[in-house]
Amino acid sequence: MNFMEKDVKLKIEEIPLFELMESNFSGCPICYFNFESVRKTIFSILYESVNDPEIRARLREDGFCHKHARLIFQVLEESPDLGLLGISIILKDLLDSATELNTIKRPSRGKKEREHSHECYFCKIEKDANKRHISVFARTMTDHSKRTIFERSESVLCFYHTAEIANVLSGTPVFEEFLRIQEEKLRMLSLHLESFIAKHDYRNTLPFTSDEASAWKKHWRSSRKE
């Protein structure tokens, strides 16, 4: 991909980011897009790729981690039309290949390595998606008007993604400005939490504002659902 093509692709990828930020989404946009990338991949596999030999081989090889097993259950619950045949075929394949048992039994592997939780197929999808989303977000932060959209939005990056974006922007002229915006957002969250806690005093007669009542989940929210 040459520079021009890369430039256009990045700009196209910015569109959903700004649509999300302008929709009053109040969580971490990168967590949201990472989550959506994996959720859509799970849906698409269960919908049309259960019998794809390449995907089946990769699922057999990598299995599922707990986090993504829970997400598979969530997708199946959200989309009952998918039925349970696809996931049953995939799980039977996984159990019959017994990759996990072979790993445990393999004498060359130490105890520490066996205890180490591995990356599943969807962890890898999420890692790749994260790289793309970090690159798009960091790029938008170099543009003053786009930075202002982020600043005025309800979106607030989680600590993990704040650090990742800061790493990309380190040494550029916008590094300090990005951190200032993000710190201010986190300070506002902290203030809302403080006043939510203070209003639990039995002498308080004031109702909670919606910002105070929802502050606890803003830092982790990765879906549009409440």
The residue ranges that bind Zn ion (CB under 5 A) are: 28, 30-31, 65, 68, 120, 122-123, 158, 161
Q: Looking at beta carbons only, is 90 or 158 nearer to Zn ion? A: 158
We find the least distance from the C-beta atom of residue 217 to Zn ion, in angstroms, to be 13
End-to-end CA distance of the chain: 39
Q: CA angle, corner 148, sides to 145 and 153, nearest 5?
A: 135
We find the least distance from the C-beta atom of residue 111 to Zn ion, in angstroms, to be 22
Q: Looking at beta carbons only, is 30 or 50 nearer to Zn ion? A: 30
- Pull the structure tokens for residue 198: 């203070």
We find the least distance from the C-beta atom of residue 170 to Zn ion, in angstroms, to be 18
- The whole-angstrom separation of Cα 6 and Cα 3 is 5
We find the least distance from the C-beta atom of residue 108 to Zn ion, in angstroms, to be 25
Q: Looking at beta carbons only, is 27 or 212 nearer to Zn ion? A: 27
Q: Looking at beta carbons only, is 76 or 199 nearer to Zn ion? A: 76
We find the least distance from the C-beta atom of residue 114 to Zn ion, in angstroms, to be 18
Q: Looking at beta carbons only, is 43 or 208 nearer to Zn ion? A: 43
